[in-house]
Structure 1
Amino acid sequence: MSYTISKSRVIAEIKECLVLAVPLAGAQLSQGATTFVDTVMTGMLGSQIIAAGALGASIFQVLMYMGSAIVSSVSPLAAEAYGAGQVEQVSRVVRQGLLLSLILAVPITLIVWNGGTLLLFFGQEPKTVALAEVYLKAIAWGCLPGLSFAVLRSFVSALSQPRPVIAIVIGGTLLNIVGNYILMFGKYGFPALGLAGIGYSSALSFWAMFAALAIYILSHPQLRIYYAFSALHQFESKVFWELVRVGVPIGVLAILEGGFFTCVTFLMGQLGTVTLAAHQIAFQTAVLTFMIPVGLSIATTVRVGQFVGQENPQGARLAGFVGIGLGATFMAVMGILFWVFPERIVSLYIDTTNPKNAAVVSLAKQLLGVAAMFQIADGIQVGAAGALRGLKDTRIPLLIGALAYWGIGLTCGYTLGLLLGFGGVGLWWGFVIGLALAATVLTWRFSTIEIQKPLKIGQLVN
């Protein structure tokens, strides 16, 4: 269907998207800063600790990314119900989302707790695994609050009330920094726990953020009317399974994407500590910049979902393309910074003037050069995926992601890096190829998919 959209309408949608996206992007950036700070502070303990932290964080992050992605189905369902004026349906969605987060937390916590066994299975060095294991057992205590916080964040975002999220996440990040300092180095009478201290500090910050957002929801007049925490024991099968139907493909896609990066991390580990440390520096930087388009993607999901609830397909289409465009623009700027200032970026993590770090610094700079190549594609693919989530289209994007990341990206990276001998740089070119393919196909799908009318409230109640 062809239609004309005025310039003023585009500008208005950009403003609406940014009003919603800026707090969400800021919150994502602050939350990503937690891992960034952890990496910087582990650098104070040496390259071996950075490598161990990379392995431990890779397991925790990919599992939490998957779980948070599954419960993020709260966002499009609640946004659609909110756009349609269905207050009771919003309440059902958030309550069943909290129940889903509890169910998911059990296996995720167990896997994180036993992550050392998984690392050994993938051929990592036993000494590095032993260090990573103490971190994993500490941060495992943060799985449940982390997932529950993701549900509440999706809830308030769907109702266009994201501002408290950024304040809470910033507070949690500051708490994590202070906790790292105290527990890692043993300050103020606490024992020096090293890498385990970083894990405990992160878990504590997850609990604090969940508690703060829960208190805010219970006290805010426009949010407490949804009774998010009442009758949590009640299982409403149709709503719950709709969350699962929409959320599981999102989660599987997240773990395919996250698993793609984790698999490359494991392959880096097989190339030695220097390669793994350089990878962690460059990868953590890329993850940090990625937080902004992730926030934009969440906002895009909400805007598209609200327009679907209002039965406004033109508005939904425009909202999706605005979100994709904003993500691409931001990541283009980040790519330029990666290309122009690689040494300054690396110096944030380790002492670039120390001759002992020369090999790590040199390789990290090369990897940042490759990262500059995939920034725009990364911004586009996450924006397109967010737009499709707003339409509750999650199964086909899962297949697209599987092909792009594992079928093409990993195969190309493995061939270039290990078979042809280009090492870590070759493996990273797999990122470029996989993300570029995903960005192209996901955007094409959003531009061509038919926008369906929303389900009425009676269709999702028992």
Structure 2
Amino acid sequence: MRSEIKQCLLLAVPLAAAQLAQSATGFVDTAMMGWLGSQTIASGGLGAAIFTFLLLIITGIVSAVSPLAAQAKAARKPEQVGKIVQQGLAISLLLGIPIVIVLWNGGALLLLLGQNAATAALAQNYLRAIALGFLPGLGLAVLKGFLSALFQPQVITIAVVLGTLLNITANYVLMFGKLGLPALGLAGIGWASTLSLWSMFIALFIYIYSQHRFSSYRIFHTSFKYTFTQENRRIFWEIFQVGLPIGGLIAVEAGLFTVVTFLLGQLGTISLAAHQIALQTASMSFQIALGISLATTVRVGQLAGERDNSGARLAGYVGISLGALSMAIAGIIFWLLPKSVVSLYLDIKNPSNEYVVNLAVELLAIAAIFQIVDGVQVTAAGALRGLRDTRIPLLIGIFAYWGVGLSTGYALGIWLKYGAIGLWWGLAIGLASAAIVLTWRFSILQSITDSR
């Protein structure tokens, strides 16, 4: 047990730090949107919700690179590891280009979804700026998956931290027009994110290309005539078979939060701004559990590839426990210091922000309650991913997030008119349902494996 906790933490701490640093981009963006007023934070929040939702879905698909590469490495097949990464990058291009076109026309999409015309127009300025960062965001996810599978998470952390610092600096310069540049406002935040995503992708690309220890994987050593070999086509579809349910599960969960965001957008700027503050804060703590989940996927995948069933079981339960513990600590902070958290986004002493601040504090109290189950469900899903079990978790997610979470939230928030409070209780109940069933699923699979 102690050995597995150590192995998990050695991989999870750098990955969680990288996830936290990358999420800090969204946190800093939201905080700096608040400097421009509640209308900007509401519009930027809508734009960020669309971009993040689509990015999470496609990165979920290409995240199959991590468990597949981990198992290929455990089987001592370095060239197959390289081909898995190559096909992951190809899928990123194939799926990413159409999404960039959708983002470029995001304002029209928001109008179709019933959002205010002024809010949609301001959000489109942000979306057109950040759209060009979508492709490097996908490529970054593939290269992170490769380095994680090879137990090289430290370089990911360094690249992401430096990219985040660049984003913060560029936000300030481009928002307010420093260094002789024009003041771009909300659009400047989008351009800063694009610059940050490109810088992180290029940094990891150069690192992998320049290191001799990665040469045996031959990731960047191929020619066009070898791209469509039978083995490459097999790997291409294998990534889709494993990754599509992962992306689907992420879409189901992220879609729940996105739909809630749109529903709150129809309730007014106050509800939307308070929701965006609470959601961005909860997202920051979630990144720690997500980093543990990524580490759990690699550990379970590696041990499963070595046919060590008892080790894979232990790795899964250790990951789930660490995920719950990390989120419990975050929940305590939300519960005890809600106004301090909100003050990071808005001036809580400004009377014009009073209603937003009070509602955000109430939403953070609900977030504090569901932190533990959120940590359990994401790490349980990571453990199942390591076993390449992705289809049933997708069905579980549809049931828990939409069948339980959204229906409950809609009933409380819209029908019973509890507004944002009711919708957030629906989120909590949906996450709790997912945590219970996904953990049960992992336990059942391990029992079946032991009986063979």
Same fold (TM over 0.5): yes
Q: Which residue of 1 aligns with 2:352?
A: 356
- State which of 293, 318, 337 in structure 2 corresponds to 1:297: 293
Q: Which residue of 1 aligns with 2:310?
A: 314
- Give, in whole Å, the separation in 2 of the partners of 1:421 and 1:134: 33
Q: Which amino acid aligns with 1:290?
A: F
Give a deviation string over 1:353-387, Cα, whole Å, max 9, x none. Answer: 11111000100000000101110010000000000
Q: Which amino acid aligns with 1:196?
A: A
Q: Which residue of 1 aligns with 2:164?
A: 173
CA apart distance, 1:86 = 1.3
CA apart distance, 1:227 = 1.4
Q: Which amino acid aligns with 2:196?
A: S
Asked if 1:447 is matched to 2:443, the reply is yes
- State which of 128, 133, 137 in structure 2 corresponds to 1:142: 133
Q: Which residue of 1 aligns with 2:143?
A: 152
Asked if 1:190 is matched to 2:186, the reply is no
Asked if 1:34 is matched to 2:25, the reply is yes
CA apart distance, 1:111 = 1.5
Q: Is the 8 A contact 1:72 1:151 kept in 2?
A: yes
- Give, in whole Å, the separation in 2 of the partners of 1:148 and 1:232: 19
Q: Which residue of 2 aligns with 1:204?
A: 195
Give a deviation string over 1:211-260, Cα, whole Å, max 9, x none. Answer: 00011111223223211112264131100000000000101111111110
- Give, in whole Å, the separation in 2 of the partners of 1:54 and 1:390: 33
Q: Which residue of 2 aligns with 1:56?
A: 47
| Compared CA separation, residues 250 and 232, structure 1 to 2 (3 A) | farther
- Give, in whole Å, the separation in 2 of the partners of 1:267 and 1:401: 21
Give a deviation string over 1:94-143, Cα, whole Å, max 9, x none. Answer: 11111111111112211211111111111110000000001001100001
Q: Which residue of 2 aligns with 1:226?
A: 217
Asked if 1:379 is matched to 2:375, the reply is yes
Q: Which residue of 1 aligns with 2:424?
A: 428
Q: Secondary structure at 1:157's aligned position in 2?
A: helix
Asked if 1:251 is matched to 2:247, the reply is yes
- Give, in whole Å, the separation in 2 of the partners of 1:379 and 1:450: 21
Query: Bigger shift: 78-87 or 26-35?
Result: 78-87
Q: Which residue of 2 aligns with 1:419?
A: 415
- Give, in whole Å, the separation in 1 of the partners of 2:334 and 2:135: 35
Q: Is the 8 A contact 1:95 1:232 kept in 2?
A: no
Q: Is the 8 A contact 1:95 1:228 kept in 2?
A: yes
Q: Is the 8 A contact 1:47 1:273 kept in 2?
A: yes
Q: Which residue of 2 aligns with 1:457?
A: none
- Give, in whole Å, the separation in 1 of the partners of 2:235 and 2:429: 38
Q: Is the 8 A contact 1:391 1:451 kept in 2?
A: no
- Give, in whole Å, the separation in 1 of the partners of 2:234 and 2:113: 39
CA apart distance, 1:451 = 8.6
Map of 1:79-94 to 2, 5 A cutoff? Answer: 79-94=70-85
Calculate the TM-score normalised by the size of structure 1: 0.95
Asked if 1:334 is matched to 2:325, the reply is no
Q: Which residue of 2 aligns with 1:400?
A: 396
Q: Which amino acid aligns with 1:200?
A: W
- State which of 52, 58, 61 in structure 2 corresponds to 1:70: 61
- State which of 150, 154, 160 in structure 2 corresponds to 1:163: 154
- Give, in whole Å, the separation in 2 of the partners of 1:368 and 1:224: 48
- Give, in whole Å, the separation in 2 of the partners of 1:84 and 1:71: 21
Q: Which residue of 2 aligns with 1:459?
A: none
- Give, in whole Å, the separation in 2 of the partners of 1:232 and 1:77: 23
Q: Which amino acid aligns with 2:64?
A: S
Q: Which residue of 1 aligns with 2:386?
A: 390
Map of 1:252-267 to 2, 5 A cutoff? Answer: 252-267=248-263
Q: Which residue of 2 aligns with 1:458?
A: none
- Give, in whole Å, the separation in 2 of the partners of 1:373 and 1:111: 36
Q: Is the 8 A contact 1:99 1:232 kept in 2?
A: no
- State which of 108, 111, 114 in structure 2 corresponds to 1:123: 114
Q: Is the 8 A contact 2:85 2:219 kept in 1?
A: yes
Query: Bigger shift: 238-247 or 213-222?
Result: 213-222
Q: Is the 8 A contact 1:96 1:232 kept in 2?
A: no
Q: Secondary structure at 1:349's aligned position in 2?
A: coil
- Give, in whole Å, the separation in 2 of the partners of 1:220 and 1:447: 40
Q: Is the 8 A contact 2:79 2:218 kept in 1?
A: no
Give a deviation string over 1:174-218, Cα, whole Å, max 9, x none. Answer: 110111111111111111111111111101111100000011111
- Give, in whole Å, the separation in 2 of the partners of 1:230 and 1:125: 50
Q: Secondary structure at 2:217's aligned position in 1?
A: coil
Q: Is the 8 A contact 1:63 1:108 kept in 2?
A: yes
Q: Which amino acid aligns with 1:436?
A: A
CA apart distance, 1:452 = 9.5
Structure 1: where are the runs of 5+ without partners? 1-9, 454-462
CA apart distance, 1:438 = 0.2
- Give, in whole Å, the separation in 2 of the partners of 1:447 and 1:220: 40
Calculate the TM-score normalised by the size of structure 2: 0.97
Q: Secondary structure at 1:282's aligned position in 2?
A: helix
Q: Secondary structure at 1:351's aligned position in 2?
A: coil
- Give, in whole Å, the separation in 2 of the partners of 1:65 and 1:396: 19
